[in-house]
Amino acid sequence: MNNLQTGNAPSLSVVVPHFVYSALSFLCLTVFIILAGTDVLGPYFSGKLVAITHLAVLGWASMLAFGALYQLIPVVFETALYSELLAKITFWIFAVAILLLVYSFWTSAYGTTLIYASSLMFTALSGFIGNVLFSQRMGKRNIQSKYVVTAILWLLLAAFLGLLIAINFKYPFLSQIHLHYLKIHAHLGLVGWFVTLIIGVSSSLIPMFLISHNLNEGKLNFAYYLINGGLLLLGLDWLVLQGTLLIPVYWVSISLGIILYLVFVREVYQKRLRKELDVGMKHTLVSVLSMLLPILLSLTIMLKLDFQNSFHLRTTTLYGFSIIFGLITPIILGQTYKTLPFIIWLHKYKQLVGKYKTPMPKELYSERLVTLQFYSYNLAIIVLVTALITDTIWMIRLGSYTLLVTAVLYNLNVFKIIFHKVKTERNPI
Amino acid sequence: MKTRDEIKEIESELEQILYGVMDPEVELNIVDLGLIYSLIYDGQSQVEIKMTFSTPACPLGDAILMNIRQSITNVYPEFEVDIEVVFEPAWNADMISEKGRLMLGM
């Protein structure tokens, strides 16, 4: 037996708390959107929207990404996680930092608790990043691991800039207004961390789940340089030169990189052996296709196609919304069912397979709930996008409540998987 | 020591046992999936299996191996099962049986 990765899988106590915290954050997030009410249609930098954004990207998405990445390190890097203890410590610091950070934004406590929340956050993220980097040093280097490592370096930069902005609220020292740095911070986080991570992990997982072989990974290589080169130059341009005429060049570079990735996914889809897609993969493919939306919206913002200020502000909100709810959330909603049931199944049934008739991993959750979750989510997003475009408050409420339904369905399934009780029948053999 | 015919018969029985071992992700048995490259019974108590996975980083690899060992020793408790996992030749779609293709909806 050689080159097997399941022996490298981290223990359940490292991974599962991340899934629990993330699922609860998603539920809280939908409640916060309802509570924010008309603020959702206000400026994207209002305290409540910033609180919601941070709960979404850190509590919901990054928390799950950390847990999933700890589990996927053996798959992507083909080695074990460097330190389980560090992962557990990081989890608790991260968990407290998220609560404190969201509280600081929601209550506009910029000059008081924000600096402590940001410092704690930076500490947690450093712990996570160190753990992944040390793991990668021991593991295999391929295009997927290159994406993952680069993504976490962007996360480090985003967190550092976030910390500087927080310090600046209490002890002003930055030369430009906050919104200028907020723009850079958001792009490092959303494009650098999430888009790069999603491309890296999904280019490994989607072929694995769809059973696609003989793929041309050259496209991923080109995409890597176009996206990261473009983002690096964009960040430097904004930071040092405050934005030059070259911004559209960086936009073209990043967009081309994303399109190359989409071409790669099309190849995976065409060469797939598994013709029928389950709901998890449908969610994932919706997410991948949604990458086109922020490309178009960023073009609108860059070219200032609309000069009505309120619409321009809402377009910016929509741009962030399209990344968080178009790209990030559906891939999490889908991939949860491709990871968590297998993690729990392995833990509960690994010693029982062969001895007893055991259920399949997909029998650990309700497929009916996943289907309802898929349709309620897509409905919520269509309604919310329409509400943001048309500035309609009743549609915001309708979309928010539909999103709450999705979150409840998702949580029911996540906890059904986690609290699954072992079911066995004597093997008839 | 068993005769050649007896060895063949036991090898065939062992293969039938492997038809009951599923890849939990693909939900197809590992024989129809084409993961088994060779199965040799030495006529005494040693079984040597050479096999692969659909991906080198298969997260469920250990569970599949455990299932193979357990399924065989359920029927032949005295057997020692030695499994070698190889990635050369790499698994590909052509290795799936006709029945497997039908089951996967290909």
The pLDDT mean for chain B works out to 88
Complete domains list, chain B, with CATH: 4-96 (3.30.300.130)
Distance from first CA to last CA of chain B, Å, rounded? 44
Does the CB of A350 have a partner CB in chain B at under 8 Å?
Answer: yes
Measure A78 CA to nearest chain B CA, in Å.
7
The amino acid sitting at A162 is G
Do the chains contact at A427 and B65, CB–CB below 8 Å?
Answer: no
Q: How many CB atoms lie within 10 A of CB A244?
A: 11
Percent of chain A with pLDDT over 90: 55
Place of tokens 């599962």: A16
Domain assignment of residue A396, yes or no: no
Domain assignment of residue A88, yes or no: yes
* Contact residues on chain A for B70, CB-CB shorter than 8 A: 353-355
- For the stretch A246-283, pLDDT in tens is 889 999 999 999 999 999 999 999 988 877 888 888 88
Domain assignment of residue A168, yes or no: no
Residue in B57, B74, B106 nearest the CB of A275: B106
∠ CA A269-A273-A274, rounded to 5°? 85
What angle do the packed helices A247-270 and A279-289 form, to 10 degrees?
150
In angstroms, the CA A48 to CA A61 distance is 18
The amino acid sitting at A374 is F
Average pLDDT over residues A59-65: 96
The residues that bridge with B28 in the sheet, in sequence order, are B23
Cβ–Cβ < 8 Å for A196, A154: yes
Partner A, chain B 9-38, Cβ-Cβ below 8 Å: 17, 20-22, 24-27
Q: Which of the residues A273, A337, A425 would you substitute to probe the B interface, choosing the one with the greatest number of B C-beta atoms within 10 Å?
A: A273
What SS3 state is found at A63? Answer: helix
Domain assignment of residue A28, yes or no: yes
In angstroms, the CA A395 to CA A380 distance is 10
pTM strictly above 0.90: no
The residues that bridge with B41 in the sheet, in sequence order, are B47
Place of tokens 């030749």: B89
* Contact residues on chain A for B84, CB-CB shorter than 8 A: 1-2
- Predicted confidence at residue A215, as pLDDT, reads 85
Cβ–Cβ < 8 Å for A227, A290: no
Residue in B57, B62, B65 nearest the CB of A78: B57
What SS3 state is found at A177? Answer: coil
- Predicted confidence at residue A32, as pLDDT, reads 95
Do the chains contact at B61 and A345, CB–CB below 8 Å?
Answer: no
- Better-scored residue on pLDDT, A74 or A340: A340
Do the chains contact at A5 and B57, CB–CB below 8 Å?
Answer: yes
* Pair of tokens at residue A227: 């996206």
What SS3 state is found at A379? Answer: helix
Domain assignment of residue A370, yes or no: no
Domain range enclosing A13: 1-140
| Count of structural domains within chain A | 1
Domain assignment of residue A221, yes or no: no
Measure A259 CA to nearest chain B CA, in Å.
26
